Structure 1
Amino acid sequence: MKNSRLLLLVGSVLMAGMATAIWSLRRQKAPKLSIDCESPIGDVMQSLAGLTLGTVVEGNAVDIHENGAFFDVLIDRVRAAKHSIHFETFLWKDGTLGRRLAQAFCDQARAGRCVRVMLDHVGGDKIGDEVLAMFKEAGVTLRFFHKRSIQNLGVLNDRDHRKLCVIDGREAFVGGHCIVDSWLGNAEDGVHFSDVSLHLRGPIVHTIQSTFCDNWIGETGELFMGDHFFPKLEPVGDIAMHAAFIKPSNSAPAVKVLHHSVICIAKKRIWIQNPYFIPEPEAIDAMGEAVKRGVDVRVLMPATSGSDSPMVQHAGHRNFEKLLRNGVRLFEYPHTLLHQKVMTVDGEWSAVGSTNFDDRSFETNDEISVGILDRGVATQLDGIFEKYVARAHEITLEKWAKRPLLHKAKAQAAYLINELL
C-alpha cells in the first residue's frame, strides 16, 4: 500500500513538473495596449511592420475574392504554374473541392512541376485515402504539421492555421478559405460559408514564400532557392503591404501585436469581420478607449445558429456586456458561417489573413495576416461588411442585460476553455 502511494505521489509530481515545463516552454509575454501616437495609420506602416518583425513592401497589386468563386481563380493559377506550387492549409476534408484541387496538383506534378503541400495534421486528417494515393502516385510532396507523437508532446496544441499558396514565387494567395465543400457556393444558405482571400502580385510574394518556408523547413529540413522560388520581382502596382506571421519565443506573436496595435492608433473607425471573436480583457479596454476617442468600433460575426462551432460563440458571449458598455457595436449573422478574418481601420488600412480574434490564434496557432495600405482595398472590404451586416442582428445592451441565466452560464462555462476551442 505504501509503495502504491509512493508511486502515485512520484507520478503526480512528474506530471505536474511536465505540465509546468510545457507551460513555461509555450508561455509568451502579452503586449501592453498603450501607445502614444498621434499620427494617422497611413504614416506608421513602417512602425507596424517593424513591431511585427516584418518590412513594408511597396509596388504590389491585390485582388479580393469571395466565397466559392475564389477556388476558380486559385485552381486556374495552379494549372498555369510553370515551375513550383507551394500550398499550406489547416483544414482539408475529402469532397468535390478537395479532389478538384488535388487533381490540379497531381496534373502539375506529373508535368514536372515541383508541388509541395503542407497540411496541419489535425485539420487534414480527413483528406481521404484516395487523395493521399493520388498525391503519392503523381509525386506531390505532402507533409503534415505537428503529427501526434512523443517528440511533439510539448506542441501538440500548436496548429498550423495558415492558408496560403505561392505559385512560381511570383504570385500568392492568402486568406481564410479551407478545402471543404462548405466553402463552395456563395454563402447562399446555412450549408455554404462566406470567406475572403487575396490574390497578391509584386514583391510582397517573397514574404509569403518566406512564410511557407517557416513550417516547411521546420518539418522537413528542406531548403530551396533560386529563381523558381525567389525570382526578382518588379513592382506591378502602387500598394504598400506587410505581413505578420512570426511567432518568436518568449514574446507576443506578430499577429497579436499587429491587431492590438491598430486598435490603439485608430482615429475614425475599426470594422472587424471575424468568425471567432473572443478578445482578451485588455483588448476590450483598448476598444473602449478607442470609442472614447470618437472611433466607430463595430464587429460582425456569426450567431450561434450560423457558426460551425457554437461553443466558441458562447465563449465570446461572456464579454459582450462589457464590450457593449464600452460602446462597441456588435452584430451577429444568423444565416451561415461568416469565416472571413478582416479588419479595416480608418478606411485606409486593412488586415486580411487566417487570424481569428481569439487566444488560440493570437497565442498558439501559426497564422498570417497581411496589412494593406490602400483606400480602394479598404472600401471593398467595408463593402463586404455592409453587405452582410444588412441581414445581421445588432446586439443591444438593454436586451443583452436581460438574457436568461442559462445563457449566461453557458457563456461562462465555454469561456473557461476558450483557448482550447
Structure 2
Amino acid sequence: MNPDNMTQRTLSSPSAGARALRMRRRLERLIGIAATEGNALVALRNGDEIFPAMLESVRSAEYTVDMMTFVYWRGDIARQFAQALAERARAGVRVRLLLDGFGSRTIEKGLLKDMREAGVHVAWFRQPVALSPLKQNHRCHRKALLVDEQVAFTGGVGIAEEWCGDARNEREWRDTHVEVRGPAVDGVAAAFAQNWAECSGELFDGHDRFGEHRPQGDAVVQVVRGSAGFGWQDMQTLMQVMIESAEERFRLTTAYFSPDAYFIELLCRASRRGVEVEILLPGPYTDKRVCQLAGQHFYEDLLACGVKIYQYQPTMLHAKVITVDGTAALIGSTNFNRRSLEHDEEVMLVVLDEEFTATLDTHFDEDVAVSEQIRGGRWGRRSLLQRARETAVLPIRRFL
C-alpha cells in the first residue's frame, strides 16, 4: 500500500497526515524497522479494564500463549493469571511464561509449582545469583502477552495486586496498557522471541502457525525494541525523533523521570521553539523516591524553559505514554529514565492514528485534572534539605 494514500485515509487533517508521514519515514530510516498498516488498538486504563481483557484472551487461547513480564508478585490477580495459564496448558495449548530474574523474584513459589506441573514452560531472564555484576544491571523490563498469534497486549502493567482497581486510592496504581490486533502483533512477538531465545533453546514448535495477518483497523504501528547493552540505543533514537518532530505539543507521562542532561536540553529546545511541552509524573505516592529526586534536580531548568510539570496526586502513576501533535503516540514499557533508555530490554509501540492519540490525550487531561502543577517561583524556594537530597542521588542517576 502506498504510504501517501494510507496517510490520507488514516488522518483527517492534511497537515496531520504530512506530519505523520514525515515521522514515519524518519523512524523507519533511523531505526531500521518498517511500520505496518491495518492495525486496531484499544487503550486500556487501569486494572479494572486491563486484567479482564488479558485474562479473557488467555482463557480463549486455542494454540499458543506467550507471556513475559518484569513484575509478577503476589495477590489474587497473580493467582488468577497462574490458574488461567495452567488451565490452558492442561488443555493442550502451548504456554510459555518468561519472568525477569530480579523483578519477579518474589512470586509465590506455589504458583510456579502449579504452573510447571500443568505444563507451562517457565523461564527466568538473568537470575542474579548466576550472573556477573554487569549482566545483573541489564534487566528484561518488557511486558507482553500474545495469544494465538492474533492479539497482543503491552504497556506498563505488572502482575500484582498494586495494579488492581481503577486508581481510586493510593492502593490502586494508575497505568495504561494497549490491546493490539493486526500485523503489529508480529513486532511484539519478536520482542518475546528475542528474550526467550536467551533463556530457552526452543524458539518455536508445532503449535506455531505463522499465518498472515488480515487488516483489523486503520492504525499505522511501528514496534521498537530496546535491548540491554552499552552505547546509544534505539529507545534513545526513538525519544529524540519524537521530541524533535513535535511542532505544536509534546506530552510525556512516565513513572520514572531521570534522564541525562542531553534529553533535558532536547525538551527545553522544543519548548523554546514554541512547542507546548507537558510532563506528568508521580506525586506523593511514588514507589521510588530516589528516582523522583533525581528527576527533580532538573525541574528548575525545565520550568525556566517554559515546560509544564505536573505531579499526579491520587496514587502511584505507572503509565508510560507520549503523544505528539495529536497525531502520534508512544505506548509501552519504557520510562523516561536512563535505566529504560540505556540499560533494560524494552518495547514501545509508535502509533500513527488520530483517534487513538486523542484517547490518550483525553486520559492525560483527566489525569492532569487531579494533579498538582509545579510552579517555578515556589519550586525555586524549596528547602536546602530538598536540594541536598537531589544532589545526593546524582552519582547513581544512571542506574535509576
Q: Which of 129, 134, 147 matches 1:154? A: 134
Checking the alignment, whether the CA contact within 8 Å between 2:63 and 2:207 is kept in structure 1 is: no
| 50-59 vs 88-97, which moves further | 50-59
Q: Which of 171, 175, 186 matches 1:206? A: 186
| 355-364 vs 143-152, which moves further | 143-152
Q: Which of 48, 67, 72 matches 1:87? A: 67
Q: Which residue of 1 aligns with 2:386?
A: 407
| TM superposition score normalised by structure 1 | 0.88
Q: Which residue of 2 aligns with 1:374?
A: 353
Checking the alignment, whether the CA contact within 8 Å between 2:320 and 2:333 is kept in structure 1 is: yes
Measure how far apart 1:247 and its partner are: 2.7
Q: Which residue of 2 aligns with 1:266?
A: 246
Checking the alignment, whether the CA contact within 8 Å between 1:52 and 1:255 is kept in structure 2 is: no
Q: Which of 155, 166, 171 matches 1:186? A: 166
| 273-282 vs 195-204, which moves further | 273-282
Measure how far apart 1:154 and its partner are: 2.9
Q: Is 2:277 the counterpart of 1:280?
A: no
SS at 1:306 equivalent: coil
SS at 2:381 equivalent: coil
SS at 1:331 equivalent: strand
Q: Which residue of 2 aligns with 1:168?
A: 148
Q: Is 2:230 the counterpart of 1:256?
A: no
Q: Which residue of 2 aligns with 1:398?
A: 377
Q: Is 2:304 the counterpart of 1:342?
A: no
Instruction: State the one-letter code of the partner of 2:382.
Output: R
Structure 2 segments unaligned to the other structure (5+ residues): 1-17
CA 1:246–1:333 in 2, change beyond 3 Å: closer, same or farther? closer
Q: Is 2:101 the counterpart of 1:110?
A: no
Checking the alignment, whether the CA contact within 8 Å between 2:59 and 2:88 is kept in structure 1 is: yes
Distance in 2, matches of 1:370 and 1:111, equals 32
Q: Is 2:293 the counterpart of 1:314?
A: yes
Instruction: State the one-letter code of the partner of 1:287.
Output: L
Instruction: State the one-letter code of the partner of 1:212.
Output: F
Q: Which residue of 2 aligns with 1:78?
A: 58
Q: Deviations over 1:88-109 (max 9, x none)?
A: 0001112101000100000000
Distance in 1, matches of 2:54 and 2:99, equals 17
| TM superposition score normalised by structure 2 | 0.92
CA 1:229–1:96 in 2, change beyond 3 Å: closer, same or farther? farther
Measure how far apart 1:251 and its partner are: 4.4
Q: Is 2:212 the counterpart of 1:232?
A: yes
| 110-119 vs 287-296, which moves further | 287-296
Q: Deviations over 1:15-69 (max 9, x none)?
A: xxxxxxxxxxxxxxxxxxxxxxxx7244230321332231110110001111012
Instruction: State the one-letter code of the partner of 1:364.
Output: H
Q: Which residue of 2 aligns with 1:417?
A: 396
Measure how far apart 1:335 and its partner are: 2.0
How many residues matched? 382
Alignment of 1:1-40 (within 5 A): 40=19
Structure of higher CA gyration radius:
1
Q: Is 2:35 the counterpart of 1:56?
A: yes
Checking the alignment, whether the CA contact within 8 Å between 2:164 and 2:173 is kept in structure 1 is: yes
Instruction: State the one-letter code of the partner of 1:129.
Output: K
Q: Is 2:102 the counterpart of 1:122?
A: yes
Measure how far apart 1:228 and its partner are: 2.7
RMSD: 1.5
Distance in 2, matches of 1:70 and 1:142, equals 23
CA 1:151–1:277 in 2, change beyond 3 Å: closer, same or farther? closer
Q: Which residue of 1 aligns with 2:339?
A: 360
Q: Is 2:333 the counterpart of 1:333?
A: no
Checking the alignment, whether the CA contact within 8 Å between 1:42 and 1:348 is kept in structure 2 is: no
Q: Which residue of 2 aligns with 1:221?
A: 201
Q: Which of 131, 135, 138 matches 2:118? A: 138
Q: Is 2:36 the counterpart of 1:47?
A: no
Q: Deviations over 1:149-204 (max 9, x none)?
A: 45544311111000111111111001001101010000000111011011000011
Checking the alignment, whether the CA contact within 8 Å between 1:53 and 1:246 is kept in structure 2 is: no
Measure how far apart 1:415 and its partner are: 2.7
SS at 2:331 equivalent: strand
Structure 1 segments unaligned to the other structure (5+ residues): 1-38
Distance in 2, matches of 1:52 and 1:247, equals 13
